[in-house]
Structure 1
Amino acid sequence: MSRDTAAFAPDTTSHALSFTTSDPLTLGVELELQVVSRLDADLTRGATELLGLINRHPHPGDFKPEITESMIEVSTAQIHRRIDTLAAELLAVRKTLVEAADKLNLLICGGGAHPFQHWAERKIFDKPRFHQLGDMYGYLAKQFTVFGQHIHVGCPNGDEALYLLHALSRYLPHFIALSAASPYYQGVDTAFDSSRLNAISAFPLSGRAPMVKRWSEFIDYFEHMRGFGIVESMKDFYWDIRPKPEFGTVEIRICDTPLTVERAIALAAFAQTLCRYLLVERPFVIDDSLYAVYSVNRYQAARYGMEGCLVDPASRQRVALRDDLRITLQRLAPHAEELGTAHYLASLGAVCEEGNGAQWMRSAYQRHHSFGDLVWQQALQWRES
């Protein structure tokens, strides 16, 4: 699954917004990764060479450029019904990427932001869409050298996709806190577990989707926005969660790229299990109360990670995010058994005690007070199970 269509290019499928039917709960994953120099551990312009080397031979997954030359996007090429097959594909993708990087004397890192790179030094990838975005967004385009995980979950129709989009917003802080791995930005501890989200929030049409419950109503909303000349395709929406009608999925876009592929797999398992719980049990009513606390809960998770709090829109009570995650995992247990995701969810439960990627990065930095050493440790985290 990729995001390769040129922004604002004619797209009759997007204009029609025909929602492709997908098997419910099928999975796909995209990961944006850092391309790093072995010489100084800074980001480097290596994407073109990496892609050229990888694409010489058949390979698992999909490999694509991102907006700057210091990024590469990898994704699953297959549609997965079970998390174990998705895990096998992502592990094979990692092996392919790491082996290619080794041949080019490059490192590959996870994490939501490089700890000390300077955005002004980045080079826009030579592709019309990316140059168009650079012209449109100015310096924000280079500041967009941040790295996220996107999770696609299959939906049978647009109405179900919108239901999941809104219902998943209740659990947005969990995805943020579990994946957070960008505490440092341009050599400074930002005091955020996920500083990446601040870069995303600078863009228009970021944040939350509108409270639209029916696909026919969403088409009306889209055409209304298109009539203003604001959007031309779904790719122009940078929402935290958005429908992806051409894939027949709902796409969770809020996560930092984790430091390990195993954490990325576990987050996909969490998304699949959570969606099954929401579809089967329909645990709450979808209304505006979900979004009354959305921005505050999102901020708490980005700022404090597992130490944050959230306001439960149903009870209106303030609860520790860590405690709410534990309760959520307990509720998901029967669904995890059905899907075969229990092992992966248990690894996320351990984050409550062990800390997330941001906490690991701060601890690793404190050992030597060297950002270069931290990046090397991140590269080792990514390549080793």
Structure 2
Amino acid sequence: MSTAATPPFDPDSDDVRSAPLPTDPESRTVKLEPFNKSEALSLGVELELQLVNTHDYDLAPYAEDMLRLMAQTPLPGSVVPEMTSSMIEISTDICHSAQDVITQLSPIREALIRNADKLNIAVVGGGTHAFQQWHERRIYDKPRFRELSELYGYLSKQFTIFGQHVHIGCPDADAALLMLHRMSRYIPHFIALSASSPFVQGQDTQFDSARLNSVFAFPLSGRAPFTTSWKEFEAYFERMTRTGVVRSMKDFYWDIRPKPEFGTIEIRVFDTPLTVERAAALAGYVQSLAAWFLQEQPFEPSEDDYLVYTYNRFQACRFGLDAVYVDPATGQHMPLRDHILMTMTQLEWHSEALNATQALGELRTSVEANRNDARWLREKQGKERLLAEVVRQAALRFRGAA
């Protein structure tokens, strides 16, 4: 961590205290920590998962019990609490390929299933729970979560949503910002490929990814500012801390944000897939894109890329693979599905070099069949009608049994 000016509290620690901000803007200023060195194209994956009971398949507040049991098994990565007590987050250690990701996620999944069975609950993927009522949720007893609950009110309980985050290693800080802005053109790809949140509070939202609508409500969500040098980004961060609105990078809920402590950028728009296999495949797609950017510099990002950013993002959330994609460079309108397939063809050499051919092949097959997890959930609901049965089958799918 930086040894620069100390904020009123360390927002990244568990020792979070309600303390008034200094009235002098200069005394509120926090310097951004240095961008640490990491291996270019290394990967890390985080998955937020649902804990449900096996009676009616509603969310169940078993995070503390699950964490206690999981701590007894040596595993890669980590298992930690999340905002509410019916969810947990699992993460990998540093990986070098999509195959590494699945190699690490598989034993974590097996341990989750084994311990969930002991508790008579189930673990489920998906970006939202299909019928839970937000007002019934309990905030997990952790200082930072309590502070966020006080700040954001009911939004904190509504934030019982479940996403996948993918970290990609960058060779240096300036390269990280260029990577971030290049990746921003492909945010609609990530949303449509991972979309798994069509149902909210018992209703079909008509969105493939309704989860991201909950993120929009937060004041520092959306896209990162267009800065292309770390010096420029540091100045932006210091200006933001001087206002008293921001105290650390964790206060930004951007779709992609730099993680200087890891030497990565973190892509945050994915819904949690229904299977860890798809989560690993999505990580392989990100890694292949990153290799293309680093090795070929296929285009120079610009502020104008963001003219259609929100529109493209909405299209992908609402329509998934049936969305329209507007090319930021040319203004051309085309089916998002076609743009994904075209991009995958461009990435073939890079995916082969990264041992990600199978991962991209699985994603390509699903795009060609116009199938993502949102489609799977809707098809199950069409057959079963009862959303509890849809959640039960999603739990079986997470286990690899459906």
Residues 241, 253 of structure 1: 8 Å contact kept: yes
Q: Which amino acid aligns with 1:103?
A: K
Q: 2:352 aligns with which of 317, 328, 337?
A: 337
Q: 1:248 aligns with which of 263, 280, 290?
A: 263
Q: Are residue 373 (structure 1) and residue 389 (structure 2) matched?
A: yes
Secondary structure in structure 2 of the residue aligned to 1:81: coil
Where do 1:157-176 residues align within 5 Å? 157-176=172-191
Residues 15, 233 of structure 1: 8 Å contact kept: no
Q: Which amino acid aligns with 1:67?
A: M
Identity %: 50
Residues 8, 231 of structure 1: 8 Å contact kept: no
Partner of 1:203: 218
Following superposition, the deviation at residue 158 of structure 1 comes to 1.0
Where do 1:56-75 residues align within 5 Å? 56-75=72-91
Q: Which amino acid aligns with 2:400?
A: E
Q: Which amino acid aligns with 2:309?
A: Y
Q: 1:138 aligns with which of 128, 143, 153?
A: 153
Q: Distance in 1 between matches of 2:246 and 2:328?
A: 31
Secondary structure in structure 2 of the residue aligned to 1:29: strand
Q: Distance in 2 between matches of 1:8 and 1:331?
A: 47
Partner of 2:372: 356
Partner of 1:229: 244
Q: Are residue 99 (structure 1) and residue 141 (structure 2) matched?
A: no
Following superposition, the deviation at residue 6 of structure 1 comes to 4.7
In structure 1, the gaps of 5 or more residues are: none
Structure 1, residues 334-384: CA drift from partner, whole Å, max 9, x if none?
101111101100101012133100011000011010101000010011111
Partner of 2:31: 15
In structure 2, the gaps of 5 or more residues are: 1-10, 20-29
Q: Are residue 318 (structure 1) and residue 342 (structure 2) matched?
A: no
Partner of 2:48: 32
Following superposition, the deviation at residue 156 of structure 1 comes to 1.6
State the aligned residue count. 379
Following superposition, the deviation at residue 8 of structure 1 comes to 7.0
Q: Are residue 43 (structure 1) and residue 55 (structure 2) matched?
A: no
Q: Which amino acid aligns with 2:374?
A: A
Secondary structure in structure 2 of the residue aligned to 1:350: helix
Q: Distance in 2 between matches of 1:6 and 1:212?
A: 31
Residues 8, 232 of structure 1: 8 Å contact kept: no
Structure 1, residues 146-169: CA drift from partner, whole Å, max 9, x if none?
000000000121101100100001
Q: Distance in 1 between matches of 2:15 and 2:343?
A: 37
Q: Which amino acid aligns with 1:111?
A: G
Q: Are residue 54 (structure 1) and residue 58 (structure 2) matched?
A: no
Structure 1, residues 201-225: CA drift from partner, whole Å, max 9, x if none?
1001101000011001100000000
Secondary structure in structure 1 of the residue aligned to 2:174: helix
Q: Please report the TM-score for the alignment, with normalisation by the length of structure 2.
A: 0.92
Q: Distance in 1 between matches of 2:294 and 2:98?
A: 18
Partner of 2:4: none
Residues 98, 108 of structure 1: 8 Å contact kept: yes
Following superposition, the deviation at residue 4 of structure 1 comes to 6.4
Following superposition, the deviation at residue 322 of structure 1 comes to 0.3
Root-mean-square deviation (CA, aligned residues, Å) is 1.5
Q: Which amino acid aligns with 1:360?
A: W
Q: Which amino acid aligns with 2:33?
A: L
Residues 276, 398 of structure 2: 8 Å contact kept: yes
Residues 329, 349 of structure 1: 8 Å contact kept: yes
Q: Distance in 2 between matches of 1:227 and 1:8?
A: 20
Instruction: Find the structure with the greater CA-based Rg.
Output: 2
Secondary structure in structure 2 of the residue aligned to 1:116: coil
Q: 1:214 aligns with which of 229, 251, 261?
A: 229
Residues 15, 143 of structure 2: 8 Å contact kept: no
Q: Are residue 272 (structure 1) and residue 287 (structure 2) matched?
A: yes
Following superposition, the deviation at residue 15 of structure 1 comes to 3.5
Residues 151, 252 of structure 1: 8 Å contact kept: yes
Following superposition, the deviation at residue 79 of structure 1 comes to 1.1
Structure 1, residues 117-163: CA drift from partner, whole Å, max 9, x if none?
00000000011110000000000000000000000000121101100
Could you list the structure 1 runs, at least 4 aligned residues long, displaced by more than 6 angstroms after superposition.
7-10
Residues 131, 203 of structure 2: 8 Å contact kept: yes
Residues 19, 246 of structure 1: 8 Å contact kept: yes
Structure 1, residues 40-59: CA drift from partner, whole Å, max 9, x if none?
10001010000011113423
Partner of 2:204: 189
Partner of 1:147: 162
Q: Which amino acid aligns with 2:396?
A: L
